[in-house]
Amino acid sequence: MSDTPRPPQAQTQDTVRTAYDTVAADYARSMPDTSPEHPLDLTLLDTFIAAVGTEPILDAGCGAGRISRYLADRGGRVVGVDLSPQMIAQGRALHPDLDLSVASITDLPHGGASFGGVLLWYSTIHLSEADLGRALDEAVRVVAPDGYVLVAFQSGVGTRDLFRQYSQHGHDVTLERYLRTPDEMAEQLAARGMTEVVRLVRSGTEIDRDGQTMLLHRRSDSGPHRNL
């Protein structure tokens, strides 16, 4: 199967859950920390932590908790949720001190304005357009006034079929990644009352040849915001 971009196709959350349940152990073993991240990515994560300060952070789509670990080790008060029970099981085994639980980022089990920051670190990449809208609605709902949302994703146009990538590691899974442009995602956040603070767009690497985008937005219904 080719991983050439092609027109997007709707993918269900059940499909995504099943795929990540299948690969969870190998995924956690192969990506235990932030080694795959570019130094610029980590700088923006550090900026996000500093902006949120002492307020709690939701790592929405935390996987096995590697980014939750990074945030917590730098003083972040982190709560993580992920769609895949097996990814959460891996995260709890690796990081027993972290608060990680099973939940969909399109239907968060948290009250409104519960967090100073919401992180969507490559957790929107498998969402259909409808589910992406619901996930962004939820992120904005649970972030407090003057709070921040940081979204990271592979940027471009079309869809990547990830069958070949995972089959090389012995897994037969159905999983697609949707590419979106920086402007498309920024417009979705702006339509929900978020103000863009930082935009990082960089080229891909040998690890991931697609372009990479990180958007830091602030909930803009609260007047002047904290300096970064």
Residue 68 CB partners (closer than 8 Å, separation 6+): 59, 62, 78, 80, 91, 95, 98, 100
- Distance in angstroms (rounded) separating the CA atoms of residues 147 and 10: 31
The answer to whether residue 212 sits within a structural domain is yes
Q: Is the pLDDT of residue 98 over 50?
A: yes
The more confident residue out of 122 and 176 is 122
The answer to whether residue 87 sits within a structural domain is yes
The answer to whether residue 225 sits within a structural domain is no
Residue 148 structural domain: 13-219
The answer to whether residue 3 sits within a structural domain is no
Q: Is the pTM of this model over 0.85?
A: yes
Q: Is the pLDDT of residue 15 over 90?
A: no
The pLDDT, as a whole number, for residue 223 is: 43
pLDDT-derived band at 207, boundaries 50, 70, 90: low
pLDDT in tens, 20-58: 899 899 889 988 999 989 999 999 999 999 999 999 999
- Is residue 131 a contact partner of residue 106, using CB atoms and an 8 Å limit? yes
- Distance in angstroms (rounded) separating the CA atoms of residues 48 and 121: 12
Find, among 111, 215, 208, the residue nearest to 160 by Cα.
208
Q: Is the pLDDT of residue 145 over 90?
A: yes
The answer to whether residue 72 sits within a structural domain is yes
The answer to whether residue 2 sits within a structural domain is no
The answer to whether residue 228 sits within a structural domain is no
CB atoms within 10 A of CB 191: 11
* 210, two tokens: 């697609």
The answer to whether residue 22 sits within a structural domain is yes
Number of domains making up the chain: 1
- Distance in angstroms (rounded) separating the CA atoms of residues 207 and 218: 30
State the CATH number of the domain containing residue 126.
3.40.50.150
Q: Is the pLDDT of residue 86 over 90?
A: yes
